Structure 1
């Protein structure tokens, strides 16, 4: 009798509600109006806008703890999805997520956070000592490299705190994010959340994933030669003469660009924090950035001359480039697509767009857990100490459903990435393909 009283709509009718002022989604066949919720959604509005008008059960399970389900009733429209169906791979994925939750894996964070914090503190103090208390040129440059390595490990902590609580309370977790991101690295946690959450949802979509939108410097696919529109930044990614010039040599400039990529991250932080876009905790983020741009320049100026100052900064950036390379290895050579992410093939898109880095357990600290990129994308709330443990189960699930599970050594991943960049570079050199008139303003203002 209860079923006959239910109100139903079809998937086609649900797809009509994709406007920012009329935004509906479905979770396990129940339809929710999240128009107002998107304004205060902790993960930002981009995620909801990208998945609007479709069933998003898998993505909801991936990013939310069990406590989040109780809030859904506040947004229930009273409608159910008439043609709601669950694929076999989604059924198995949800069973696996339930199994991990019952086993308490999402709460078992280990002692990695405390150890990492202690290591970062010791490395930072050693860097300060090398700069302030020695006169050795070699020690000064080594101190710069040590600072870069500190930034790598600090970034892993910021990444962990952004995906799950590494501290006891949400307040202390937010404080950790500001300290690790803004104060110690100069990169805003607000900028990271804005781009990183969109990347997870639209993994390797050329027009929705900001982590693949690097024109005019890089193009991982010839599709970008068509000057496609970025739905993340809300403008066209222009492939003009300047872009063609850079892309033609991208396989040669890849590592040099990674060595100075940090300058771009600083720029992106300032562009976002001082934009008109609504930013959660804007004042706190700006304060954290001011802390960084106080202590870092002061530390650099303590060096005796400009030669050592420049080399110190370059040493820190070049060491930190290892992490920038790692981030691109996980996705640059994976499969790409054009269009918005789809909730009903969310699992398949994650497997298609990610590459793991094979390494021994002794190197897990070096990669910060992100060598298990697919495992992290499927279960982003899972503490990094659990990723190696669940990897065999993820591999088995991929094998069962004939989905790719790619795991390459660090050397192999570099090789494949360079091959991908070179392949696109050779296509860009084909002068038979015309490009639009060069727009220098567009090139200077390309984000990402």
Structure 2
């Protein structure tokens, strides 16, 4: 029962239906007026009425809640805010605090400066080489590789900067993120950040009641889990599902870059991103103008785009063979356990970390999104030890094996879809296993 004036305490405020609350460390916070101002977008809406402790702590800077006052106790008609980490969760929270205390979250600006220099060097080297030798076929082939690497490495830097790893000031990081993500890489970096924020908070999550789905887990050309079937509504999509294990890699490589550019600007209205896109195409036009024929210009750019398509495979194979959850189920799961369960790490030597851009340590990245990628390898041994102590599977395999597992998952889901539609062509999937 709420305390009252008779026992010398102030009564709790009444929970109003038009107010929105999220839980943090066992207390409710009124975020109704903050939702439109939230820098991470409306993902906060998905946690209304839920405990968001671990998402808040791992995705935000220390003391992010210091200016917000909780409702005293558990207010009025609100159910008590449940905050009871499992033993695994407790150890991961302790690790999070250890990483904060020992400076693991702090940026190494010299390291990032070196990373910034790589795509700049690739762009300058490509321009100068084409300017002097652009008429030579072998040079055109070489420059298509360096241009592809320029896109590839710029994409990873966009990822770092939109997580605010470099400057740890989200406004400055976003400006540099637009530079590397839009001007260099060629997509709307702000659109990508909007989707990626949701992806981290609710990885591989779907809510059939509202049509919500982790935006970076849904593509129109395939369904990696049968829970996505209700979202695949037209005949073309049904046809594509049946052949998705054949089309996955070719689509990523041959049309992935074009598709993500179109998707990212379809509803983009932010001026700075459009200005950066115009500058991107001016850079591409200048670079390709040093090649002597239109045919050669097209193939150099397209070959570079195909090479960059490897990044799309890298982004997707970390999650595609992993479980999906209904939103309410995800809210009830231990956060860190869900993050370990929803990700695959790619085993590779240290000297290949540049190729993976840190995504080879996807478990570490999802458990602690603020952690810069130059610390992933150290932290991976810590998380692996905690997983072993709690009997939780720490999933890791080689690059080729991860691709095979992704294709196997796509084939398995394709078989389920084909069997269901063959049995009953008018089947209406409800998101549950057929």
Q: Following TM superposition, by how much is the alpha carbon of 1:190 offset from its aligned partner in structure 2, in angstroms? A: 1.0
1:396 and 1:100, CA in 2 relative to 1: closer, same or farther beyond 3 A? same
**Residue 432 (structure 1) aligned to one of 423, 426, 429:** 423
Distance 1:418 1:114 in 2: 37
Quick one: distance in 1 between partners of 2:365 and 2:8?
41
The answer to whether structure 1 residue 266 and structure 2 residue 261 are counterparts is: yes
CA change 1:7–1:405 in 2 (3 A) is: farther
Counterpart CA distance in 2 for 1:250 and 1:149 is: 27
Q: Describe the superposition over 1:350-388 as per-residue Cα deviations: whole angstroms up to 9, x where unpaired.
A: 111111101111111211111100100010001111111
Q: Given the superposition, is the C-alpha separation of residues 170 and 77 from structure 1 closer, same or farther in structure 2, using an over 3 Å criterion?
A: same
Query: Residue 248 of structure 1 corresponds to which residue in structure 2?
Result: 242
| Unpaired stretches in structure 1, ≥5 consecutive residues | 228-236, 275-281, 438-448
CA contact (8 A) 2:126 2:287 kept: no
Task: Identify the residue that residue 338 of structure 1 maps to in structure 2.
Answer: 326
Deviation at residue 349 of structure 1 after TM alignment: 1.6
- Find the counterpart in structure 1 of residue 214 from structure 2: 209
Shift of 1:86: 1.2
Corresponding position: 1:185 with 2:185:
yes
Q: Summarize the Cα distance change of 1:344–1:335 in structure 2 as closer, same or farther, 3 Å threshold.
A: closer
CA distance in 2, matches of 1:123, 1:425: 40
Q: Unaligned 5+ residue runs, structure 2?
A: 208-212, 429-434
1:30 alignment counterpart = 27
Q: Which residue of 1 aligns with 2:132?
A: 133
The residue that corresponds to 2:38 in the other structure is 41
* Aligned counterpart for 1:86 among listed residues 84, 93, 110: 84
Show CA shifts across 1:71-120 (max 9, x none). 222xx333437463412232222111111111011114363311111121
Superposed CA deviations along residues 322-342 of structure 1, whole A, max 9, x for unmatched, are 111111110001111233541
Q: Label 1:356 to 1:271 Cα distance change in 2 as closer, same or farther (>3 A).
A: same
Post-superposition offset of 1:59: 0.7
Q: What is aligned with 2:232?
A: 238
Distance 1:371 1:146 in 2: 22
Partner Cα distance (2:96, 2:195) in 1: 25
Instruction: Give aligned pairs, total.
Output: 409
* CA shift in 2, pair 1:436/1:85, >3 Å: closer
**Contact kept in structure 2, 1:190 and 1:285, CA below 8 Å:** yes
Which residue, out of 304, 320, 328, partners 2:292? Answer: 304
Shift of 1:258: 0.7
Shift of 1:188: 1.3
Q: Counterparts of 2:350 and 2:109 in 1: how far apart (Å)?
A: 15
Superposition pairs of residues 371-410 of structure 1, within 5 angstroms:
371-410=360-399
> Which residue of 1 is the match for residue 337 of structure 2?
348
1:226-277 per-position Cα deviation (integer Å, ceiling 9, x unaligned): x1xxxxxxxxx23332112111111111111011211111112211314xxx
2:403 corresponding residue in structure 1? 414
2:432 is aligned to none
Q: Displacement, 1:343?
A: 6.3
TM-score (norm. length: structure 1): 0.85
Residue 83 and residue 35 in structure 1: after superposition, are their counterparts in 2 closer, same or farther (change >3 A)?
closer
Counterpart position of 2:275: 287
DSSP 3-state at the match of 2:149: helix
Shift of 1:130: 2.9
- The normalised TM-score by structure 2 is 0.87
The Cα shift of 1:389 comes to 0.5
Deviates more, 1:301-310 or 1:250-259: 301-310
8 Å contact kept, 1:206–1:212: no
**In the aligned structure 2, how far is the partner of 1:131 from the partner of 1:357?**
35
2:236 equivalent to 1:222: no
Bigger Cα displacement from structure 2, 394-403 vs 52-61: 394-403
How far residue 418 of structure 1 moved from its aligned partner, in angstroms, is 0.8
Q: CA deviation at 1:295?
A: 2.1
Q: Give the direction of change, closer, same or farther, for the CA distance of 1:6–1:180 in structure 2 (3 Å limit).
A: farther
CA distance in 1, matches of 2:83, 2:192: 34
In structure 2, the CA distance between the partners of 1:99 and 1:321, relative to structure 1 (3 Å rule), is: same
By relative contact order (CA 8 Å, sep 6+), the higher-ranking structure is: 1
- Shift in Å, 1:7: 6.0
Q: Which moved more, 1:331-340 or 1:314-323?
A: 331-340
